[in-house]
Structure 1
């Protein structure tokens, strides 16, 4: 199979991730005006409620499948056998998720008003399993799932404006949301069978697969808890206003972080494959390139977001959300830590089969985050929550890095990477200068923001070229040859 371009994959995965965020941002202003407040409430509650059962059905299978399946992808017989076993395990976990969901609807009578909407959203459970996206990730084939995802989302927007016309249409909106999110998974499943033979089987090596899957699942649950704990605790200890301010910061942060995170996400299957086949020299070379590339993009992304936080909040949310500026600046620092934590976890610990250490680190981080929130929220409110999250992300990055230190030490502390960090920091100083000058030179909010971004990119790239940053110079050479990775 032809080697996929990591750069193209990063762009496609980033585009798909951003679209998943932008779809509700585009549709929400319309539906909030059309649907009733009660309808929106039922929609949001049902979607959140079903999300827990989607997590149960997923069972950490995708992460495990990418790690284990990547080393079999050159052997059609082995990958077909492996994929069929993983798919079958996923079917069993899906059945369990549905049984638990139905049981909860029977036991909890106060869910009666939500049953119809919950059942519509429950289609996500089945479609996510059938989507078998892990097969595409194993083979680094992002083009197929990205293109179909875009098509389904565009169609869904048309459906929204045509069929959601009155306050009682929240069930229709729920159906359209499911169609937009996982509707293309039916096509993904059909196409996946052209990549390898995948079918339901009874001959499953439970002893080999189950333990690591459950450990990864426990890690996912722990991550979900500590990611949602900040907002939950803020709502309990403060008010809806504080939650609204903090949620605005998180929404803006998530868009940028998701786009930057796509760089490392697409590299996971290749690193898993190289580590699984014990091709450690190639593994460390790709890992070094990944860390260097992330440095080049994440550092300026973080600095730019901090410098333009006020303008971005004004453009996206308006003046009444200006208190979100400080919390956005604080949480922006978490972008550096979370991206490198993801590398150390997904690209080092998981391929090295150290998921137990990953689980331990996540649980410790969750506890630290909760304690910090208890300490900071009473005094700093949403700023305290942002600070807690940033500290927690730093802690999990450090612990994941320490857990894989024997693998990454000679990579992370190499002269090559330290020099790359130094040149990126110099470029970031240029961004700070440009944004400061633009803030006093332009009175128009939009013009100031646009010029700040354009000129910051220009000065950053110019500085990196001037100091001969390795990553930028290599990209320029590849562009000259019209060839990427």
Structure 2
């Protein structure tokens, strides 16, 4: 447990895991849409979404809080065991409350009886998500276990899908397999956690200490969920289903790119929480500089590539029917940069510094601005206006989160190392744009255009970084 784990290797593992979570639906969904009826697929999606709200409720803000506080005790098994037992007990209580509210809703809203079997199957996820205690493994930075487990259960689930879902009547099998792929390994998580700490059922809980920050983090999570879904809701109210359909493709592609580019940053949260919690601020700032530099190195060229190849990506993923989403995708592409920096400022600075209340205020303020901008822009610009509103909201959140933690990170963000790194990345990213533009002119084939753009831009980007003496790239080459 005391062995220091590589942030780079953990970032790679988490990137693989995130990619797998994105690829799994791409493999299964085309098969399911051909086997099951449209009505069954609709019932499946509604039920899964409905139960998702209760999973969110059961989780509260526990995982984020647990990682922040638990990281301090990572090298002390006794203290970590006591803390983990208290958090697990709180999570069990919130799970009970979630189940009670779910079953009450089934009794109150009679039309939900149509989806009863689906909802009951999906509700298993509530309990097993709690039992899974994944936050223990995040605290311990054990991403090799998390990734290996995820790969194994995803492969098993795909095999089960093709073996068991063969006709229109197998929709419940599909729901069960989805649950299995999501939380099937969580019993193993609970058993295996004994290698890290000793989790016991306890009634000796310091409610006063834990509940307030948990609820504030939960409120912030809710605010994020509301403002992320409000754009689609307002677009649907003010425009048509057609506009929502076009925008849904934009959001889907944006989420894929943002998730993949940002996944390597998630692994830094427990390390930075531990360093700040233990008062090792010199090491914290040094690690934070590396985090900012790596983030810029990935998301800026990634965003440039997304904006340059928006039309090709839409054609590849959604087909010519959705070409109108190209401009909206170019606009919302800018949000990839700011959403990832906002994530780092919030989770790696404000949360470890126990400033979650300021983070909540920032999120609510951005949500209000986002809603107002949507109301103003949608009538004239439709989904393009919605994309622009998202970009503004993400910029606003990034600036406010930075400002709330400026006393901690101002000297690192504006250090010569970070500024030089950012300069080299921006210059090198210009060559990414040029490379994509040339490939678009040369190649007629869609796949060749995308493939050549990715490969050539990757090469010229790397060469440019070497010539510009980017610190991260040069240090890796010297090793």
Structure-1-length-normalised TM-score: 0.97
Structure 1: distance between partners of 2:43 and 2:32: 13
Shift of 1:251: 1.2
Corresponding residue of 1:114: 115
Shift of 1:263: 2.0
Please list, as runs of the form range in 1=range in 2, the aligned pairs for 1:22-421 lying within 5 A after superposition: 22-421=23-422
> Are the aligned partners of 1:20 and 1:181 in contact in 2 as well (CA < 8 Å)?
no
Structure 1: distance between partners of 2:46 and 2:4: 43
Corresponding residue of 1:451: 452
Structure 1: distance between partners of 2:24 and 2:171: 16
Structure 2: distance between partners of 1:251 and 1:467: 35
Q: Give deviations 1:181-236, integer Å, cap 9, x for gaps.
A: 11111111111122110121110011111110111011111111111111111122
Corresponding residue of 1:464: 465
Q: Give deviations 1:14-43, integer Å, cap 9, x for gaps.
A: 111222122112111111111111111110
| DSSP-derived class of the 1:388 partner | helix
Structure 2: distance between partners of 1:18 and 1:55: 22
Shift of 1:168: 2.5
95-104 or 24-33: which moved more?
24-33
Shift of 1:250: 1.3
| DSSP-derived class of the 2:151 partner | helix
* Number of aligned residue pairs: 478
| DSSP-derived class of the 2:469 partner | coil
Structure 1: distance between partners of 2:124 and 2:476: 43
Structure 1: distance between partners of 2:251 and 2:350: 27
| DSSP-derived class of the 2:457 partner | helix
Q: Give deviations 1:325-378, integer Å, cap 9, x for gaps.
A: 111111110010000000110000000000100111111111111111111111
Structure 2: distance between partners of 1:50 and 1:20: 19
Corresponding residue of 1:483: none
> Are the aligned partners of 1:313 and 1:321 in contact in 2 as well (CA < 8 Å)?
yes
Structure 2: distance between partners of 1:379 and 1:62: 41
Structure 1: distance between partners of 2:261 and 2:190: 28
Structure 1 runs not aligned, ≥5 long: 479-485
> Are the aligned partners of 1:35 and 1:168 in contact in 2 as well (CA < 8 Å)?
yes
Structure 2 runs not aligned, ≥5 long: none
Shift of 1:418: 1.0
Q: Give deviations 1:247-290, integer Å, cap 9, x for gaps.
A: 11111111111111112110000000000011110000000110
| DSSP-derived class of the 2:204 partner | coil
Q: Give deviations 1:40-94, integer Å, cap 9, x for gaps.
A: 1110100010010001100100000000000101111000000000011000000
Corresponding residue of 2:12: 11
RMSD: 0.9
Structure 2: distance between partners of 1:22 and 1:367: 33
| DSSP-derived class of the 1:168 partner | coil
| DSSP-derived class of the 2:4 partner | coil
Structure 2: distance between partners of 1:132 and 1:365: 31
| DSSP-derived class of the 1:323 partner | helix
Shift of 1:475: 2.0
Structure 1: distance between partners of 2:386 and 2:26: 23
Structure 2: distance between partners of 1:306 and 1:346: 27
Off by >6 Å, runs of 4+ in structure 1:
none
Structure 2: distance between partners of 1:140 and 1:191: 14
Structure-2-length-normalised TM-score: 0.99
| DSSP-derived class of the 1:122 partner | helix
| DSSP-derived class of the 1:322 partner | helix
Structure 1: distance between partners of 2:244 and 2:200: 45
Q: Give deviations 1:361-406, integer Å, cap 9, x for gaps.
A: 1111111111111111111111111111111111111111111111
